[in-house]
Amino acid sequence: MKAQLQVTVISAKLKENKKNWFGPSPYVEVAVDGQSKRTEKCNNTHSPKWKQALTVIVTPVSKLIFRVWSHQTLKADILLGMATLQISETLKANDLKCELALIFFFLLPSVGTSSTPSSNPVSHTSIVIPVLAFSHTLDQDEAGAGAATATSTSSQTPSGPKSGASASSTPATAPPRITAMNSGPLPPGWEQRVDQNGRVYYVDHIEKRTTWDRPEPLPTGWERRVDPMGRVYYVDHITRTTTWQRPTQESVRNYEEWQHQRSQLQGAMQQFNQRFIYGVSAITFDPLGPLPHGWEKRTDTNGRVYFVHHPTRATQWEDPRTQGLLNDKPLPEGWEMRFTVEGIPYFQLSMPQHIKITVSRKTLFEDSFQQIMSFHPQDLRRRLWIIFPGEEGLDYGGVAREWFFLLSHEVLNPMYCLFEYAGKDNYCLQINPASYINPDHLKYFKFIGRFIAMALFHSKFIDTGFSLPFYKRILNKPLALKDLESIDPEFYNSLIWIKDNNIEECGLEMFFSVDKEILGEVTTHELKPDGGNIQVTEENKEEYIRLVAEWRLSRGVEEQTQAFFEGFNEVLPQQYLQYFDAKELEVMLCGMQEIDLVDWQRNTIYRHYARSSKQILWFWQFVKEMDNEKRMRLLQFVTGTCRLPVGGFADLMGSNGPQKFCIEKVGKENWLPRSHTCFNRLDLPPYKSYEQLKEKLMFAIEETEGFGQE
């Protein structure tokens, strides 16, 4: 049986502590059947007023637990009091009223309690001091079958506390009929217990830990396993993947959303091909007559004619009917023959100039890791030649841009537990202290260090940026207290308050130790030897602020950071970056985000079009009507990336150095536009109307995928 219960938390009156200049920062937690809802906190007051409604799902046998906490910035929150409410007894005592008002008396603990279960009972004084008023509403479910419908309100104040509960004896009546709900059994190995304060907690006998939150069963398709070393891991039989972290319905949903975003990103980044519709070629008379036996005449995607000799599987630009076979002998090892735009052959020693990296889109992370770590670090400075099997793309820079963009989105994904977001509303990345759950995490950090250094060395952009302190670490610059503000403003403001106020007069009891939680396990870290027994005073608080700030900026990631910089310095020594600051490094690595249309137009050149051509006017009208996201996708289609260099469009780079955005008149009106990402060039056919141009461009940037021959 289930129903929605709306609890309106109104106010409280808390006992004042004359030793503390500032009042508590209380908030109320309502827990029932594994759910937990809480109000906003009221800062520095003994008479908080919330008037905040919380909705939970209950059954007739549910017991609500109300806890009043005081928020602490540098320590665990303090429990001020608690009380319980039995749903069925309360409804019986109030004649099954749907709306009723109750006042609770809370027992005040004589000592502070932590926010984690403990085997030691919490002692209480016999004095009843705090008073809270709540208004409860039991709503009908969607079907409305059998739910109580009375709307009048009744009030009752108990004469005294009964073990911290707000119960009063009234004649019993029949319990209300409400809709059925099955909370489900606990997962194997879990047990539900109640401590001496009436608080429900859960014990995991397999991993030997406790938690306040009711454990969820594994999502559909998941299985829990233990490896030969006794480590617990989880198998997803649907995607045939494994993970160290216990999956929840929410994490699976977040991963599915990330996969959806990833597929959209790949769709946007793979629109650099040169597909277009060819008209039917007319049969023409060749005055030279038929080709010799074994020869075939072909045309490449740029309209250039070449000839194939099938017996030797060789190709050449020259017509065999006039010049014969150019050279049927193989070239020495490491040499290759190339041709100029005019078709003149030349020879070049290719081995020391570039390295080839062949990766599959489906296994991008694994393929890139294996190949990058197999190269000598100095070889990674050579020109990159990225190959996606099955795609006829010649990498003159455009394919490499896509590889850096897609791989950075993959390796920096927080789902791999190597990196995490810097804060709740700060999506910059920092190293995850829990990365050790992956036994090979240090190898991956060394690989990521090499990869980020390659991005800087080859002037390629990545998808996601890091936190400001992390950029300062890359530059080998000292961190300061001010750097905390960019990743944890609340923690930073707390330290500033300690710095500006007399902590001894405020009665704050702090020591040179901090608590940290990793994967649900809370441990204590001493900021200095025997710090847990050294109290912070006015004389030593400057040292405390410095140590706690250093800990917050580097907590538990020293090994990971060392592995990252080992790989980074192998490719790009840090002294090469000594003239940059953190903001400049961020722009060099991530590029500019907002697209300036005026800058785009000012730095665009035209071939076989004029600035006043109607197709050019239509093109800029089309771009002007786009939002910034579609402009980025169009820029990706033409240049291979949505990121811009520091100088904007004026500093766009091509395969041969600086190369401005170019629009060239190519093809017929029934062709689709095509792009040359290595040269930042858009081939725009001479369309007859604006609507036709808009339709063809939208189709090109949204439907094409992969690379065509340059």
Residue 678 appears among annotated catalytic residues: yes
For 88-111, the pLDDT digits (tens) are: 777 666 655 555 555 555 544 433
pLDDT of residue 56: 83
**Which pLDDT band holds residue 623 (cuts at 50, 70, 90)?**
very high
- Model pLDDT for residues 7-42, shown as the tens digit of each residue: 888 888 887 766 566 678 888 998 988 888 889 888
Mean pLDDT throughout 252-269? 71
- Per-residue burial over 73-104, b if 16 or more Cβ lie within 10 Å, else e, is eeeebbbbbbbbbbbbbbbbbbebbbbbbbeb
Tokens of 203: 């014990």
What pLDDT sits at residue 272? Answer: 42
pLDDT in tens, 311-357: 878 888 777 776 544 455 666 655 667 766 555 666 675 545 678 89
Mind listing the pLDDT tens digit for each residue in 121-140? 333 322 232 333 333 444 33
Assigned token pair, 221:
């398709």
Tell me the pLDDT of the chain averaged across its residues: 75
Query: Which pLDDT belongs to residue 612?
Result: 92
Please give the Cα distance from 595 to 649 (Å, whole number).
9
Catalytic residue among 42, 642, 662, 678: 678
pLDDT at 580: 85
Best mean pLDDT range from 136-145, 241-250, 513-522, 676-685: 676-685
pLDDT above 90 (res 369): yes
Provide, rounded to the nearest whole percent, the portion of the chain with pLDDT above 90.
13
CB atoms within 10 A of CB 546: 14
pLDDT of 604 > 90? The answer is yes
| Listed range (170-174, 545-549, 687-691) with the worst mean pLDDT | 170-174
Within 13 A of 104's CA, how many CA atoms are on the CB side? Answer: 31
**The predicted structure's pLDDT at residue 349:** 53
Local confidence band at 180 (pLDDT 50, 70, 90 cut-offs): very low
- What's the confidence (pLDDT) of residue 524? 81
Q: Please name each of the domains of the chain with its CATH number.
A: 3-156 (2.60.40.150), 295-349 (2.20.70.10), 412-590 (3.30.2160.10), 597-703 (3.30.2410.10)
Sorting pLDDT into bands at 50, 70 and 90, what band is 305?
confident
Q: Looking at residue 103, what is its pLDDT?
A: 59
Q: At what angle do helices 582-590 and 441-457 cross, to 10 degrees?
A: 90
CB 405 within 8 A of CB 461: yes
Of residues 283 and 424, the one with the higher pLDDT is 424
Q: State how far the Cα of 91 lies from the Cα of 173, in Å rounded to an integer.
A: 9
Specify burial of residue 35 (Cβ count, 10 A radius: 0-12, 13-18, 19+).
middle
Quickly state the pLDDT bin for 655 (edges 50, 70, 90): low
130 or 580, which is more confident = 580
